[in-house]
Each structure stands twice: as C-alpha cells, then as structure tokens.
Amino acid sequence: MTVIGSRGSALALAQSGWVRDMILSRFPGIDVAVKIIKTSADKSPAASIRASSSIGVFVKELEQALVEEEIDIAVHSMKDLPTTIQPQLEIAAIPGREDARDALIARESAGVMGLPPGAVVGTGSIRRQSQLLAMRPDLKIVDIRGNVDTRLNRLQKREYDAIILACAGLNRLGLQDRITTPLDFSQMLPAPGQGALAIEIRRQDPRTAALVTPLNDRTAEVTVSAERMFLHAISGGCNVPAAVHARMDGAQVLIEGLVASPDGKQIVRDSVRATTEAAVEAAASLANLILARGGRAILDRL
C-alpha cells in the first residue's frame, strides 16, 4: 500500500486524487490510498497567513507525516512549499504546470481598471495587494481566508466587490467559469511555483520514487526551480511582496521578477533570459539585481 498525504480541502483532494490516478494509470496493479492530514492552516482557519510565522503552515504536518512514515507521498501546491525543505525529504516530481496567472473574480464583469472607485478587494496575499494598489491606489484591500468555495461565497454575499484567486485552483476544481478576468503577467506576476504541484517523498525510498518520477515535467522543473531560487535569493517566504514567473521563450527561459512595497508605491521589476541549464543561476542573479536596485530597502522596511 502506498499512502498519499493531502490536506482536506476540495482543491488539495483534487490534486492528490490526480496524482493517485496518474500513478495507477502507469502501475494499475498497486494499491494507492489518500490520507487527509490536518495542517496548521486547517487547524486555525481564521488566522492570517501574512505573518512571517505562517511560513510552512500548509505543509509542515504533511512533511512530518512523511518523516514518520505515516504517509509515503505528500502532494503540495508548489507555491506553499518553503524553499528549504527537511534534509531527509526531496521533491521527486513537478508535473506539467497549470495556468500560473492570478484571476480577478468580480461581482460585476470588469477588469481591475473597471472596478468601481474604492472597490473592496479580498486577498490574503501581500504580493497581490502591492500589485493591485500599483494599478489602482484607490482600492480597499481586505484580508480573506478560507477555501475556494468559502471565498466565492463571501463574494456572493457582497462582502467584497472582487477577490483574487489563482487560475490554477479554479481550473482544477472545474470553476473556470467563475473567472472574470485572468490577470496578464504584465499586470500581476504570480507567486513562485504558482500553478505547479510538488510531489514530495523520503530520500531513501526508491520504491516510491519509481512510482512518481515518471510524473515529472522537464519544462515545469526548469521554470519552477528558477522561481524558487529567485525567492530563496530574495530571502523571502510566501508572504513577502515579491513575485516571479519563468517561462520558455523559444529555446531560452524568460524570468521576470519584482519586489514591491505593500502600498504599491514602489516596485522594482526586471527580467533576464537564460538557457535552461543556466536558468537557476540567472534567477539568483536577477534577485540580487532587484535587491541592489532598491528591493532590499523595501524589504528592510517591512
């Protein structure tokens, strides 16, 4: 029996179920089960995820279950996984990536620039907040927690004029029709690894590695690894006002990154191109360039 650990949300179970189905499609004779593991974020659903102490709240208990051999595989949203993981664990596969863009979901059909003056927008991400305010300083950004359904219901109840969610999660839940406007990367750069899954296992577990490594997608591995290096070089977690996206542009990898002040008044943004072999190193250089051009001063004020 191979056990996949998952959070209990509909999105997490959809992601873990997809991994289970992909394993069974290649190895139909084995037994694979999904076990729900409650994480810190699930135990305290009302707590804000903006604080630095929240780093790893979506993954810590899953990783501990792996270490203790309670589960064999942990499936994470890559953007929730800290850039440093426990030494006895490894990311064994990064499957093909979903849409990495952020999505505006509004009660009335309008893009960010079409929202009414002073509109209330719900997001728990300081990264999204800073980029929204750079476009529309008049917006009122309000923290929001809960799973996707909870957030959509709060929008429906008119607690917000709009909310921001990841396109990938909505797509995986079959809720594409709720997206008002996908936000182009020129408007809003995503979180590192957004849209990608991380399949994590124990390092000394060749049997499980043989099951999941066929799910790895080389393009996703290259681009996501570059994004995670950018975040590591910035020395930030998932709640700093930093964003990055890497994508293939012909034979090269185009990496775009930024650091912004929470109020959106200061944004240091730049990009770099590199070969696939040099993408990780180039991402670190990009982070250092952005820090030197004012990003470090922004982060030091947080």
- Just list the catalytic residues: 80
User: From CA 208, how far away is CA 202, in angstroms rounded?
Assistant: 8
Q: Are 143 and 164 in contact (CB under 8 A)?
A: no
Q: How many CB atoms lie within 10 A of CB 289?
A: 16
Q: Are 120 and 106 in contact (CB under 8 A)?
A: no
Q: Are 36 and 6 in contact (CB under 8 A)?
A: yes
Longest dimension (CA), the chain: 58
